[in-house]
Structure 1
Amino acid sequence: MLLDVDGVLNPMGRPPPEFRPYRCTVDGVLYTVRLNARHGRRLLDLAASTGAELVWATTWEEHANDWIAPRIGLPTLPVIPMTPVEPSEHGEMFKTRHVAAYVGRRPFVWFDDQVWAQDEDYLRVHQGLDSFLLVHVDPVEGLTRRHLGMAHEWLTLTGFSQGS
């Protein structure tokens, strides 16, 4: 399960009261992120119940392990390198090629606020991948139980969970 930060764990809209603001400095730039500590437990429970691995797929890269993971109760996670930033070839988001290189032929669920049809087309047509679920998260509200339920259902129905 691939996780983005901004727009997914850190919503861009006015978050509900269960989100807490944190100030962090990354490469000399001060950011305020709003995080829900419950997200960590929900993601860990989903990973445990389906046998999935959690991986950062964010421009925060290793900074996600420093600033985001401890605040929501996640352990240090593997990180998909997102540099260099290369222009789109087929309308896909710049992260999509990095994700494809990382996952290889493994099935995956990707939570991101910037995945669209062009990303799905790129992964299917240009990379030959077919076992994945792109979960578009509304950046205003961020990750919800509905998104986690979609991932659980897909992982379970496609036979990727431990119970299969």
Structure 2
Amino acid sequence: MKPLLLLDVDGVLNPMSRPTPDFHRYRCTVGAEVYTVHLNPRHGRRLIDLALATGSELVWATTWEEHANEWIAPRIGLPSLPVIPMRPGEPSEHGEMFKTRHVADYVGGRPFVWFDDQVWAEDEEYLRVHQGLADFLLIHVDPGRGLTSRHLGMAHEWLTLTGFSQGS
């Protein structure tokens, strides 16, 4: 089974502070809401390269859900990706963020790397004690800067050194 590369949007691909000049500004409409996002068109190629090099599958793990395929993917050069369904509003069991349970349900026994700006020790603990999960790496991304080469390198190294990589 291929390892998974799970992607959040806000704070990861769309940094929360003033982005560097290699980011482009977009206004997008989701339902009745209009959002301004800043996206780096190089992120898509770099994520695809990581997935190819490690034999991994890219998956959206974001509250944007299918809207990530409509608004984010084409602007950074990603194809349409599978989406982990997120149902916000369910209470936390042990301080983990609400997305963590959805991720655990989705990944099953597949190893995964999760890029998110809101993963903390409580999320890791929840996942460690969740029955049936394979090994994983949570990569906390600084929401002010977003995804960097360092984050991608951490994922590549972990997938390669742990033997999960099918591309090495």
- TM-score per shorter chain, which class? over 0.9
Structure 1, unmatched stretches of 5+, are none
Q: Paired residue for 1:137?
A: 141
- 1: CA distance between counterparts of 2:72 and 2:7? 11
- 1: CA distance between counterparts of 2:130 and 2:23? 38
| Cα distance, 1:28 vs structure 2 | 1.1
Q: What SS is found at the alignment partner of 1:122?
A: helix
- When the two structures are superposed, what TM-score results if normalisation uses the length of structure 2? 0.95
Q: Paired residue for 1:19?
A: 23
Q: Percent identity?
A: 82
| Cα distance, 1:12 vs structure 2 | 0.1
Find out whether 1:156 has 2:160 as its counterpart: yes
Structure 2, unmatched stretches of 5+, are none
| Aligned CA-pair RMSD | 1.0
How many pairs align? Answer: 164
- For the 8 Å contact 1:81–1:98, the answer to whether it is kept is yes
Find out whether 1:113 has 2:117 as its counterpart: yes
Deviations 1:14-39, CA, capped at 9 Å, x for gaps: 11000000000001100000000000
Q: What SS is found at the alignment partner of 2:155?
A: helix
- 2: CA distance between counterparts of 1:101 and 1:163? 26
Q: Paired residue for 1:63?
A: 67
| Cα distance, 1:127 vs structure 2 | 3.6
Deviations 1:137-163, CA, capped at 9 Å, x for gaps: 000000000000000000000111124
Q: 1:21 is matched by which residue type in structure 2? A: R
Moved over 4 A (4+): none
Q: What SS is found at the alignment partner of 2:57?
A: coil
| Cα distance, 1:4 vs structure 2 | 0.1
Q: What SS is found at the alignment partner of 1:141?
A: coil
- When the two structures are superposed, what TM-score results if normalisation uses the length of structure 1? 0.97
- 2: CA distance between counterparts of 1:48 and 1:89? 36
Q: Paired residue for 1:77?
A: 81
Q: 1:117 is matched by which residue type in structure 2? A: A
Q: Paired residue for 1:91?
A: 95
